[in-house]
C-alpha cells in the first residue's frame, strides 16, 4: 500500500511533465498538501506524512526546470482552526529545494479546509489571468463547512484555463466521490491507489504516458464548452475524437446537441453525451460541444392538440400517446417515442408516422407525413365525452368506495370503484353498478364533448347478523361461526338460493330490500331465521343457536367420537362428531349424548361416558 500511494502522488505531479511544448514555458502549478492531524495515521507501518515527504522529494527532481511550482499547506500550525492555510512557497522556477525542505518541517495538527486552500492556491497562480494547475494531496474530506464542488465550478468559470487534480490518500470510495468533483468540475483527474493493478494503471496513464494528442476541432465544434443537462443518451468512445460524438448525434433523430468529454475525466475513455433539447453552454476545458443547427431550428416540429370533440372546450385528458414509424406501408411494432398529456409536442425527422392516442375507453390514431423544413400543427378529435360515476347506497348518501361501476359500449369497457371519471366514446353507453349483492344498470346516449354525471343509487339496506347460545344468553363469538343469507322463497326442488355469507359474529351484508332467510351454524348446532331488510336502514338479526359446549378429555385415547344417547330401532346410535386426539370440543343442541374414546393401545379398547348438554352451558367430561 505504501508503494501504491507513493507512486500515485508522483503520478499527479508527473502529469505536469507531459504538457504540450508550446505551453511549458509558462506552466504554473501549486501543490496543496494536507497537513491535518490525520496525516499521522499509518499505512503498512509508516505514517502518511512520512510517505508524502519521501514521494515529493523524489518527484521534485524529475520535474522540468521551466515549471513554476509552489506549495500551499493546511492544518500544520493550529488544531481546530479552519483558517490555518499558508502559502509556504510561492510559485517559481527555482522552488524545488524550498518545497522539499518545507515539507520536511511540516508537523500535521489541524483540520481539513480543502476548498479554501484550493482557492488560495488558485489566487496565488493568478488563475483569472493565466493558465493555472493545482494538485491537491488529501487523506480526508472537507471538514470546514465549505463546498469543494461548488468552488471548483466557480474557479473553472472564472479561470482562464484552470485545472485541479486530486489524489485521495487512502480514502474510501464514498470519501473519494466527495472530493473528486474538484477535479471533475475543472477538467482534471481524481486518482486513488487501492491495489497493485490500479498502481500499474496509474503508471501507464500518467508517469509513462505519452502527451495527450491535441483534439482536432472541425467546423461547428466548440472547444472548452460543456452543455450540462437534458441528457438523451450517453456512450463511451473507442477513440478520443469529437467527430465520433457528432456522428452519434447525427445517427439519433432525437439528438439536437452533443458534448464530448475528454478521456480520464468521467471515465478512462472519452465519453459522448447526446442532448435534447440543447442546453445552455458552459465554459469548461473538459469538453467539446456542438449543436445540430437544422435540427435545433426544427425542434418540436410536430404539435398535436387532443380534443374531446370539434369545438369542445379544453379538457385535461392526460392520455397516452405513442409514435410509430411507418415502414413498408405498415407501422413498426415498437414506438420510437411516447408519453402522456393532452397535447403532443415532439421532434420527428422527415418520414411517415402513425401517432396513437388512448385514454380510458377511447383509442384514436392519425398518420403524419413529416417533410423537411415543415411543421405539423393539427387537432386529434376523439369524438368522446366525459362520464363521472358515483356509486351511492341510497339517496343523499355518501359515495361507497366498495361499490363497483362499469361502463361499456360495443367496442370497449372500463370501470372502477366508488367514484370515477372516464373518457367514453360518443354513442350508446351501458352503465352498471353493484354494491354488496345489489345491482342496477341503465343505458344512455352520450354526445361528443358532453360531460355527464351518473349517480348510481342502489337503494340498499344493511343486514347485521350475530348469534347467541340461548335467548338472552352469551354471544357466539367464535371464529367458527358461519352465517349465510339465503332467499326467503324456495325453488321447485325445495332449495333456497345462496346470496351471501361469512364467518364470525358481526357480519354486515349490503342487500336489496326484501325478505331473506338467515342461517347460522357453529359446530353441530344450526338454526335458521326469517328477516326483512329495509332500504336505508340497518337490520340486526340475532340467531338463537339454542346450544351448549361439550368438552371431552380421554387420557391415552387416540380418537374421541360423540353419539346420540338414544339408539334407533336397530340398536345403533347416530354419530354426531369426532376427532383424533385425547381432547375434543364441539357445540351441540341440548340433549343427552355418549362420548366414546378409542384407546391408543394395541387392543383398540373403547370406553364411553354419558354427557348432557344444556343451552348456554359448558359440559366437561373425562373418560378414564
Model confidence over 353-395: pLDDT tens digits? 999 999 999 999 999 999 988 899 999 999 999 999 999 999 9
- Whether residue 397 sits in one domain with residue 474: no
User: Domain range for residue 500?
Assistant: 461-544
H/E run at residue 603: none
List the one residue out of 121, 209, 217, 197 whose CA is nearest residue 166.
121
Residues 519 and 483: beta-carbon distance below 8 Å: yes
| C-alpha cell belonging to residue 142 | 472537507
Rounded CA-CA distance 363/382 in Å is 8
CATH at residue 482: 2.60.40.1120
**Is residue 84 in some structural domain?**
yes
Please give the pLDDT value at position 213. Answer: 53
- pLDDT digits 0-9 by tens, 46-68: 888 887 788 777 777 776 777 78
Residue 30's beta-bridge partner residues? 70, 134
User: What secondary structure does DSSP assign to 152-199, as a single string?
Assistant: HHHHHHHSSEEEEEEEESS--HHHHHHHHHHHHTTT--EE---SHHHH
- pLDDT digits 0-9 by tens, 24-42: 344 788 999 999 998 898 8
**Is residue 536 in some structural domain?**
yes
> What average pLDDT does the chain have?
88
- Whether residue 438 sits in one domain with residue 512: no
- pLDDT digits 0-9 by tens, 392-422: 999 999 999 999 999 999 899 999 999 999 9
Last residue of a domain, which of 297, 317, 349? 297
Q: Is the pLDDT of residue 588 over 60?
A: yes
Rounded CA-CA distance 154/150 in Å is 6
List the one residue out of 255, 261, 260 whose CA is nearest residue 292.
255
| C-alpha cell belonging to residue 34 | 494536507
Other CB atoms within a 10 A radius of the CB of residue 495 amount to: 10
**Is residue 213 in some structural domain?**
no
Q: How far apart are the first and last CA of the chain?
A: 81
- Whether residue 91 sits in one domain with residue 13: yes
Average pLDDT value for residue range 219-225: 91
Going by C-beta distance under 8 Å and a sequence separation of 6 or more, which residues neighbour residue 550? 562, 585, 586, 587, 588, 593, 595, 611, 613, 619, 621
Long-range contacts of 485-491 (CB under 8 A, 24+ apart): 485/437, 485/509, 485/511, 485/516, 485/517, 485/518, 486/516, 486/517, 486/518, 486/519, 486/528, 487/516, 487/517, 488/514, 488/515, 488/516, 488/517, 488/530, 489/515
| C-alpha cell belonging to residue 598 | 378409542
- Whether residue 79 sits in one domain with residue 6: yes
Going by C-beta distance under 8 Å and a sequence separation of 6 or more, which residues neighbour residue 193? 1, 4, 5, 7, 8, 199, 202
| Residues above pLDDT 90, as percent of the chain | 67
Rounded CA-CA distance 36/49 in Å is 10
Average pLDDT value for residue range 546-569: 96
Query: Helices 114-124 and 173-184 sit at what angle, rounded to 10 degrees?
Result: 30
Other CB atoms within a 10 A radius of the CB of residue 499 amount to: 17
CATH at residue 435: 2.60.40.10
**Is residue 134 in some structural domain?**
yes
Q: Is the pLDDT of residue 454 over 90?
A: yes
- pLDDT digits 0-9 by tens, 137-188: 888 899 998 999 999 999 998 987 888 888 887 788 889 889 899 989 988 8
Rounded CA-CA distance 366/358 in Å is 12
Report how many domains make up the chain.
Answer: 6
Please give the C-alpha separations between residue 162 and each of 156, 201, 377, in angstroms, as whole numbers: 6, 25, 48
- Whether residue 467 sits in one domain with residue 516: yes
- Whether residue 249 sits in one domain with residue 158: no
- pLDDT digits 0-9 by tens, 514-534: 999 999 999 999 999 999 999
- Whether residue 163 sits in one domain with residue 23: yes
Ranges assigned E (strand) in 154-301 = 161-168, 190-191, 221-226, 231-237, 257-261, 270-275, 282-291
Going by C-beta distance under 8 Å and a sequence separation of 6 or more, which residues neighbour residue 292? 249, 250, 255, 256, 257
Rounded CA-CA distance 434/391 in Å is 8
Dihedral (C-alpha) 491, 495, 497, 501: value to the nearest 10 degrees?
Answer: 160
| C-alpha cell belonging to residue 458 | 342502489
Residues in the chain: 624
Please give the pLDDT value at position 3. Answer: 41
Please give the pLDDT value at position 526. Answer: 96
**Is residue 212 in some structural domain?**
no
DSSP structural state of residue 361:
T
- Whether residue 578 sits in one domain with residue 487: no
Please give the pLDDT value at position 423. Answer: 97
Other CB atoms within a 10 A radius of the CB of residue 357 amount to: 21
Q: Indicate the pLDDT class of residue 559, thresholds 50, 70 and 90.
A: very high
Please give the C-alpha separations between residue 251 and each of 347, 368, 434, 511, in angstroms, as whole numbers: 15, 21, 55, 65
**Is residue 74 in some structural domain?**
yes
Q: CA 55 from chain center: how many Å?
A: 47
Rounded CA-CA distance 322/428 in Å is 28
Rounded CA-CA distance 490/480 in Å is 27
Rounded CA-CA distance 403/163 in Å is 67
Please give the pLDDT value at position 171. Answer: 82
**Is residue 12 in some structural domain?**
yes
Last residue of a domain, which of 457, 476, 508? 457
- pLDDT digits 0-9 by tens, 226-270: 999 889 999 999 999 999 999 999 999 889 999 999 987 788 889
Please give the pLDDT value at position 149. Answer: 94
List the one residue out of 203, 196, 172 whose CA is nearest residue 4.
196
- Whether residue 453 sits in one domain with residue 501: no
Rounded CA-CA distance 609/595 in Å is 5
Residues 326 and 354: beta-carbon distance below 8 Å: yes
Please give the pLDDT value at position 26. Answer: 47
Please give the pLDDT value at position 372. Answer: 86
3-state secondary structure of 16: helix
CATH at residue 244: 3.50.4.10
- Whether residue 322 sits in one domain with residue 287: no
Residues 487 and 501: beta-carbon distance below 8 Å: no
Reported as half-sphere exposure (CB side, CA atoms, 13 A), residue 617 has a value of 10
Please give the pLDDT value at position 431. Answer: 98
Q: Is the pLDDT of residue 589 over 60?
A: yes
Going by C-beta distance under 8 Å and a sequence separation of 6 or more, which residues neighbour residue 21? none
Rounded CA-CA distance 69/73 in Å is 14
- Whether residue 570 sits in one domain with residue 492: no
Average pLDDT value for residue range 325-335: 91
Query: Helices 173-184 and 148-158 sit at what angle, rounded to 10 degrees?
Result: 20
List the one residue out of 526, 542, 537 whose CA is nearest residue 577.
526
Q: Indicate the pLDDT class of residue 193, thresholds 50, 70 and 90.
A: low
| C-alpha cell belonging to residue 102 | 518545507
Residues 376 and 302: beta-carbon distance below 8 Å: yes
Please give the pLDDT value at position 59. Answer: 72
Reported as half-sphere exposure (CB side, CA atoms, 13 A), residue 55 has a value of 25
**Is residue 215 in some structural domain?**
no
Last residue of a domain, which of 424, 457, 490? 457
At residue 138, what are phi and psi to the nearest 5 degrees? Answer: -140, 145
- Whether residue 534 sits in one domain with residue 595: no
Query: Helices 96-105 and 48-60 sit at what angle, rounded to 10 degrees?
Result: 170
Amino acid at each position: 500500500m505504501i508503494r501504491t500511494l507513493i507512486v500515485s502522488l508522483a503520478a499527479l505531479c508527473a502529469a505536469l511533465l507531459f504538457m504540450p511544448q508550446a505551453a511549458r514555458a509558462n506552466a504554473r502549478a501549486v501543490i496543496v498538501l494536507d497537513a491535518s492531524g490525520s496525516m499521522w495515521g499509518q499505512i503498512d507501518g509508516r505514517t502518511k506524512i512520512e510517505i508524502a515527504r519521501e514521494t515529493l522529494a523524489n518527484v521534485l527532481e524529475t520535474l522540468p526546470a521551466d515549471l513554476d511550482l509552489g506549495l500551499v499547506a493546511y492544518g500544520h500550525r493550529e488544531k481546530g482552526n479552519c483558517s490555518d492555510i499558508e502559502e509556504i512557497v510561492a510559485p517559481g522556477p527555482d522552488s524545488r529545494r524550498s518545497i522539499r525542505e518545507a515539507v520536511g518541517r511540516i508537523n500535521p495538527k489541524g483540520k481539513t479546509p480543502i476548498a479554501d486552500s484550493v482557492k488560495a492556491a488558485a489566487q496565488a497562480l493568478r488563475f483569472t489571468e493565466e493558465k493555472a494547475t493545482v494538485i491537491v494531496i488529501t487523506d480526508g474530506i472537507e471538514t470546514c463547512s465549505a463546498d469543494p464542488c461548488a468552488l471548483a465550478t466557480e474557479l473553472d468559470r472564472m479561470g482562464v484555463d484552470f485545472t485541479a487534480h486530486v489524489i485521495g490518500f487512502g480514502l474510501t470510495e464514498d470519501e473519494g466521490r466527495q472530493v473528486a468533483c474538484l477535479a471533475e468540475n475543472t477538467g482534471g483527474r481524481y486518482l486513488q491507489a487501492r491495489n497493485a493493478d490500479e498502481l500499474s494503471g496509474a503508471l501507464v496513464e500518467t508517469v509513462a504516458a505519452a502527451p495527450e494528442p491535441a483534439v482536432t476541432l472541425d467546423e461547428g465544434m466548440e472547444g472548452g464548452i460543456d452543455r450540462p443537462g437534458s441528457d438523451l443518451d450517453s456512450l463511451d468512445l473507442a477513440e478520443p475524437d469529437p467527430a465520433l460524438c457528432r456522428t452519434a448525434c447525427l445517427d439519433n433523430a432525437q439528438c439536437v446537441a452533443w458534448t464530448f468529454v475528454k478521456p480520464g475525466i468521467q471515465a478512462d475513455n472519452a465519453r459522448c453525451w447526446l442532448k435534447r433539447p440543447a442546453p445552455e453552454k458552459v465554459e469548461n476545458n473538459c469538453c467539446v460541444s456542438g449543436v445540430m443547427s437544422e435540427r435545433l431550428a426544427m425542434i418540436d416540429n410536430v404539435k398535436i392538440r387532443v380534443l374531446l370533440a370539434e369545438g369542445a372546450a379544453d379538457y385535461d385528458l392526460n392520455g397516452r400517446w405513442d409514435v410509430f414509424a411507418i415502414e413498408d406501408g405498415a407501422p413498426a411494432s415498437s414506438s420510437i417515442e411516447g408519453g402522456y398529456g393532452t397535447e403532443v409536442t415532439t421532434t420527428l425527422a422527415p418520414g411517415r408516422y402513425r401517432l396513437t392516442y388512448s385514454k380510458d375507453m377511447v383509442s384514436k390514431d392519425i398518420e403524419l407525413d413529416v417533410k423537411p423544413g415543415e411543421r405539423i400543427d393539427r387537432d386529434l378529435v376523439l369524438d368522446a365525452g366525459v362520464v363521472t360515476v358515483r356509486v351511492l347506497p341510497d339517496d343523499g348518501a355518501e359515495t361507497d368506495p366498495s361499490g363497483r361501476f362499469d361502463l361499456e359500449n360495443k367496442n370497449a369497457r372500463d370501470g372502477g370503484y366508488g367514484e370515477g371519471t372516464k373518457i367514453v366514446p360518443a354513442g350508446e353507453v351501458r352503465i352498471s353498478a353493484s354494491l354488496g349483492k345489489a345491482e342496477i344498470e341503465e343505458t344512455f346516449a352520450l354526445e361528443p364533448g358532453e360531460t355527464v354525471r351518473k349517480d348510481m343509487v342502489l337503494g340498499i339496506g344493511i343486514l347485521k347478523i350475530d348469534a347467541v347460545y340461548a335467548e338472552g344468553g352469551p354471544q357466539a363469538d367464535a371464529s367458527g361461526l358461519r352465517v349465510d343469507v339465503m332467499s326467503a322463497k324456495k325453488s321447485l326442488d325445495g332449495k333456497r338460493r345462496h346470496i351471501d355469507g361469512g364467518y364470525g359474529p358481526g357480519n354486515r351484508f349490503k342487500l336489496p330490500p326484501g325478505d331473506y332467510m338467515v342461517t347460522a351454524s357453529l359446530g353441530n348446532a344450526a338454526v335458521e331465521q326469517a328477516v326483512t331488510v329495509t332500504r336505508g336502514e340497518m337490520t340486526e338479526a340475532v340467531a338463537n343457536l339454542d346450544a351448549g359446549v361439550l368438552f371431552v378429555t380421554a387420557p391415552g385415547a387416540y380418537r374421541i367420537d360423540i353419539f346420540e344417547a338414544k339408539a334407533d330401532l336397530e340398536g345403533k346410535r347416530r354419530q354426531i362428531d369426532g376427532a383424533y386426539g385425547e381432547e375434543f370440543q364441539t357445540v351441540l343442541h341440548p340433549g343427552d349424548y355418549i362420548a366414546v374414546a378409542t384407546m391408543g393401545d394395541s387392543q383398540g379398547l373403547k370406553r364411553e361416558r354419558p354427557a348432557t348438554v344444556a343451552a348456554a352451558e359448558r359440559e366437561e367430561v373425562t373418560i378414564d
